[in-house]
């Protein structure tokens, strides 16, 4: 594309309704457009020269491109002060509906999107169950994805500490992402300690009734501490970790969860769950009986 075509495209951006609120072209910008157009018509004025003339001012260059880079999801710094809040939300944010719905996506992959939220103390087997469950679903041709409490802190939540407010934000973010997976028709397996009922209830409230399946790994503290696969209990007992769930921070067990998996401390998991594969099969059976492994 020659410079004249680029210039015409720029002019259209400025007069397009999508950029109706953008600031008008400044004098220097109009001069640059004329130079660009002249460069395409005159053999004596090179394109590089016209560009160098405009690049003499970094501030002018930024002001020139700012309206072009604006999108429906961005607000320039000039307008940020004018944004008002309505019920705690910006009044310029509007939900955009898509004709392809959750039902369409579920029909396409022949399953029902939901969130399986595995909660329990550290060392209770949450991550192990999540992986076994994902494998069992895969073997049945069903699509799932695991949001592991440790894994999400390597990326999505890498900016969060283990302070109370950051731990709450960690759960909130995972809940929101899990909701998106479920809306895509995917069976999302969230595996986190998530020690407080209030935060788990808030994640449940994000989804339609029945689409949040809480699995409680009911394993006593002494069993988890004896396992201590990451050495965290030892460090917490030594005072090297503060606010560790089960030691100096409480864990609130679910009161009305959908699935409970218990451990007797000696012979593995009871309640007909003596192995990871059997535990996973129990969850798959629940999903099958409640229609999650078919679109409708």
86: pLDDT strictly greater than 90: no
Look at residue 275 and tell me if it is in a domain: yes
How many domains are contained in the chain?
A: 1
Catalytic residue among 36, 124, 144, 194: 194
Q: What percent of the chain has pLDDT over 90?
A: 59
Active site (annotated) includes residue 271 = no
Look at residue 257 and tell me if it is in a domain: yes
The mean predicted confidence, pLDDT, of the chain is 78
Structural domain including 138 reads 111-289
Q: HEC states along the chain?
A: CCHHHHHHHHHHHHHCHHHCCCCCCCHHHHHHHHHHHHHHHCCCCCHHHHHHHHCCCHHHHHHHHHHHHCCCCCCCHHHHCCCCEECCEECCCCCCCCCCCHHHHHHHHCCCCEEEEEECCCCCCHHHHHHHHHHHHHHCCCCEEEEECCHHHHCCCCCCCCCHHHHHHHHHHHHHHHHHHHHCCCEEEEECCCCCHHHHHHHHCCCCCCCEEEEEEECCHHHHHHHCCCCHHHHHHCCCCCCCECCCECCCCCCCCCEEEEECCCCCECCCCCCHHHHHHHHHHHHHHCCCCCCC
- How does pLDDT run across 116-137, given as a tens digit for each residue? 999 999 999 999 999 999 999 9
Q: Does the reported pTM lie above 0.75?
A: no
Mean pLDDT of 198-224: 97
Q: Looking at residue 196, what is its pLDDT?
A: 96
Q: Indicate which CATH number applies to the domain containing 206.
A: 3.40.50.300
Look at residue 227 and tell me if it is in a domain: yes
Look at residue 46 and tell me if it is in a domain: no
Mean pLDDT of 272-278: 72
- How does pLDDT run across 245-268, given as a tens digit for each residue? 999 999 999 999 999 998 755 444
Look at residue 68 and tell me if it is in a domain: no
Look at residue 295 and tell me if it is in a domain: no
Look at residue 99 and tell me if it is in a domain: no
- How does pLDDT run across 162-199, given as a tens digit for each residue? 988 999 999 999 999 999 999 999 999 999 999 999 99
Look at residue 36 and tell me if it is in a domain: no
């Amino acid at each position: 594309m020659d410079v004249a075509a680029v210039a015409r495209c720029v002019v259209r951006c400025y007069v397009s309704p999508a950029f109706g609120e953008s600031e008008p072209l400044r004098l220097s910008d109009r001069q640059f457009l004329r130079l660009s157009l002249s460069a395409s018509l005159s053999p004596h004025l090179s394109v590089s020269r016209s560009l160098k003339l405009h690049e003499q001012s970094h501030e002018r260059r930024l002001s020139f491109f700012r309206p072009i880079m604006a999108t429906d999801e961005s607000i320039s710094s000039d307008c940020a002060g004018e944004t008002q809040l309505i019920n705690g939300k910006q009044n310029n944010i509007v939900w955009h509906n898509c004709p392809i719905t959750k039902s369409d996506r579920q029909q396409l992959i022949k399953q029902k999107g939901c969130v399986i939220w595995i909660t329990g103390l550290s060392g209770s087997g949450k991550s192990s169950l999540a992986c076994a469950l994902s494998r069992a679903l895969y073997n049945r041709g069903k699509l799932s994805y695991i949001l592991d409490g440790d894994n999400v802190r390597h990326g999505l939540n890498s900016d969060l500490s283990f302070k109370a407010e950051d731990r709450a934000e960690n759960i909130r973010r995972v809940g929101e992402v899990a909701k998106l997976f479920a809306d895509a028709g995917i069976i999302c397996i969230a595996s986190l300690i998530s020690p407080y009922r209030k935060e788990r209830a808030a994640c449940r409230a994000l989804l339609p009734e029945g689409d949040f399946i809480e699995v409680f790994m009911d394993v006593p503290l002494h069993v988890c501490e004896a396992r201590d696969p990451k050495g965290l209990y030892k460090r917490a007992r030594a005072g090297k970790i503060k606010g560790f769930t089960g030691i100096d921070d409480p864990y609130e067990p679910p009161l009305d969860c959908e699935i409970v998996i218990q451990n007797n401390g000696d012979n593995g998991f009871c309640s007909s769950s003596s192995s990871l594969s059997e535990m996973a099969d129990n969850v798959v059976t629940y999903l099958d009986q409640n229609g999650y492994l078919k679109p409708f």
